[in-house]
Amino acid sequence: MRTVRLTTAQALVRWLLAQRTRIDGREVPLFAGVFAIFGHGNVTCLSEALEAVKDELPTWRGQNEQSMALAALGFAKAKRRRQIMVATSSIGPGAANMVTAAGVGHTNRLPILILAGDYFASRAPDPVLQQVETFHDPTVSVNDAFKPVARYWDRITRPEQILAALPQALATMLDPADCGPAFLGLCQDAQGEAFDYPARFFEPAVHEPPRPRPDRGALARAASALASARRPLVIAGGGVRYSEAEAFLAAFAEKRALPVAETIAGRGILVHDHPNNVGPIGILGSFSANRLAAEADLLLAVGTRLQDFTTASWTLFDPDARLVAINAARFDAVKHRALAVVGDALASLEELDAALGSWRAPEEWLARARQYYAEWNAFVDERTRPTNAEVPSYAQVIGAVNRLAEPRDLVLTAAGGLPGELCMCWRVKTPGTFDCEFGFSCMGYEIAGGLGAKMADPSRDVIVMVGDGSYLMMNSEIYSSVLTGHKLIVVVCDNGGYAVIDRLQRAKGIPSFNNQLEDTRRAGELVRVDFAKHAEAMGAIGIRARGIGELEDAFRRAKAADRTAVIHVEVAARDWTEGNDAFWECGTPEVSARREVEEAYARHRAGKRRQRVGV
């Protein structure tokens, strides 16, 4: 057997280079690049291996370990999980910074390979710089914190261990059911140790995503249930995108006269004016989709884990409605005693369609859906209508940006008030142009994820919509975007703090406290941030806009710019798009000295009485 003598780090990098995939018929690298912040735990060995192949496997310098890993996830999402990025840090705080990003990847079922430095396998120099010692267990390091948020976890203490670990990590990242972060802790001495690796370990391998077929019996039961329904509703989730099933789902819905509601992760599966689109569903959804959900006698959930924002904490549906769940993951398919169809979304829909014969849902049901959707669109028209107000609403800002955006532009957000306002008010012009990270609702994903999405497809503009709170939490990848030439358009909606949490606080009868800047403990006068000037300090174009007219001019200027532009616009802190009749279960004090809190608890109890639990 022919062997090649390499260090662990060199072998790992050579193996990454050998992995290939096919996208649109072209063979391309499976691992598209590496985001790296080097420290003593990864610079002396791993960087040596990466530097040698820097033209084949690009290494990008991050500004923060969390944000560079979030950028890797934005890339994977934009690539629909067809390509994967690597993120590497040193040990200790560098590694710990990536735990949050791993949580985003785990929750959203997104692949990322995380490589973090670790302690010495020999333990001879222990404790080393940045090593967290666990007194009762010397084998534990900060890297053990990744275990709850990684789909695959391993610690490499010997060079030969990567022969088993790397294929397992890759299989996990490519599995449509188990997809998520894969983590390897690289002991510092093991990184530099050499081993005679089998040459065939580095032979090129082309990987294509599997499409597991559904069980025939489960599929037959699902077809029978659907065919007997009088008021069926499709709930389309993010899994439809990752299965590349958007076009088939649209055609299936048209053929079968099925109304389609979209989850947050599923927004943009259908274009806004598709004849079967009834809008987003749930707490951040439309009253059109929510009304249909309450009236439906069967719910066909495709590629969704049915989180509480989709189901309105399981108060949205008729308790007697049947639930059919198509999902690649058994864990998600069987929730709430659904009739589970475990399989790839596209393959399952194709076989379900074949089993339905000539069946169509009643035309009057689809007509009702279209009526509700027309009413919703009229409501959104009114919400997004421009005015001369110096401080516009979120909805008006979104309406202005939406009108000026090109069909292929990607809009992206993650946390605060923008997810709700965008989900409800943004009109998708082309499938796959909407990214709202609301599985983990990670503040700080916005700009970093936007950078990753731009790297995934430089041919379109990426419009990052971010609140002032999230911007202050994580903005350093603006500099990365300038440094690397990956232009973003960043719209900072400044409402003076964490306004959406202030909204929730007040809804529970609690006075505004420690959320809006004006309600926080401070010394002296309130100082507000000039986000345009801040962006200019990082090399971006900074633009202040007051009112919709100035915002439109600023957006046109940003469109024409040759680098990242950041638009700072002040928005009304308490002007929200409301009225979709959705309930969200959120902890509410059962007793309080405040009458307003007691009233909020009464509303909480009334909402819970509508909950569908365990059925």
Is the pLDDT reported for residue 507 higher than 60?
yes
Number of C-beta neighbours around residue 473 at 10 A: 18
User: In the prediction, which pLDDT does 613 show?
Assistant: 75
Q: Please report which confidence band the pLDDT of residue 325 belongs to, taking 50, 70 and 90 as the band edges.
A: very high
DSSP 517-529: GGGS--SSSPPPP
Is the pLDDT reported for residue 615 higher than 60?
no
To the nearest 10°, report the CA torsion of 471, 473, 474, 476.
Answer: 90
For 59, phi then psi, to 5°, come to -110, 125
191-247 pLDDT, tens digit per residue, is: 999 999 999 999 999 999 899 999 999 999 999 999 999 999 999 999 999 999 999
Query: Across the strands, what pairs with 340?
Result: 325
Residues in contact with 416: Cβ distance below 8 Å, sequence separation at least 6, in sequence order: 443, 467, 469, 470, 498, 499, 500
Write the DSSP symbol of residue 459. T
pTM score: 0.97
Is the pLDDT reported for residue 565 higher than 60?
yes
Q: How far is residue 425's CA from residue 26's CA, in Å, rounded to a whole number?
A: 37
521-539 pLDDT, tens digit per residue, is: 999 899 999 999 999 999 9
Q: How far is residue 81's CA from residue 91's CA, in Å, rounded to a whole number?
A: 27
385-431 pLDDT, tens digit per residue, is: 999 999 999 999 999 999 999 999 999 999 999 999 999 999 999 99
Q: How far is residue 545's CA from residue 342's CA, in Å, rounded to a whole number?
A: 50
Is the pLDDT reported for residue 327 higher than 80?
yes
Q: How far is residue 141's CA from residue 449's CA, in Å, rounded to a whole number?
A: 28
Number of C-beta neighbours around residue 212 at 10 A: 14
Q: Please report which confidence band the pLDDT of residue 466 belongs to, taking 50, 70 and 90 as the band edges.
A: very high
Is the pLDDT reported for residue 614 higher than 80?
no
CB 579 within 8 A of CB 420: no
User: In the prediction, which pLDDT does 336 show?
Assistant: 87
CB 170 within 8 A of CB 207: yes
CB 451 within 8 A of CB 481: yes
Percentage of the chain modeled with pLDDT above 90: 97
Residues in contact with 606: Cβ distance below 8 Å, sequence separation at least 6, in sequence order: none
The mean predicted confidence, pLDDT, of the chain is 97
57-104 pLDDT, tens digit per residue, is: 999 999 999 999 999 999 999 999 999 999 999 999 999 999 999 999
Percentage of the chain modeled with pLDDT above 70: 100
Tokens coding 10: 């060199």
What domains appear along the chain, each with residue ranges and CATH number?
3-207 (3.40.50.970), 216-374 (3.40.50.1220), 385-570 (3.40.50.970)
Question: Averaged over 529-557, what is the pLDDT?
Answer: 98
Element (H, E) at 76: helix 65-78
3-state secondary structure of 31: strand
User: In the prediction, which pLDDT does 78 show?
Assistant: 98
Question: Averaged over 129-156, what is the pLDDT?
Answer: 95
User: In the prediction, which pLDDT does 581 show?
Assistant: 84
* Phi-psi category of residue 579: left, alpha or beta, with phi > 0 → left and psi -120 to 50 → alpha: left
Is the pLDDT reported for residue 250 higher than 60?
yes
Q: In what order do the strands lie in the sheet with 205-207?
A: 26-29, 19-23, 205-207
Residues in contact with 608: Cβ distance below 8 Å, sequence separation at least 6, in sequence order: 315, 585
CB 183 within 8 A of CB 151: no
* 3-state helix/strand/coil string of 136-157: CCCCCCHHHHHHHHCCEEEEEC
User: In the prediction, which pLDDT does 357 show?
Assistant: 96
Is the pLDDT reported for residue 118 higher than 90?
yes
User: In the prediction, which pLDDT does 533 show?
Assistant: 98
Question: Averaged over 479-488, what is the pLDDT?
Answer: 98
User: In the prediction, which pLDDT does 612 show?
Assistant: 80
Residues in contact with 331: Cβ distance below 8 Å, sequence separation at least 6, in sequence order: 177
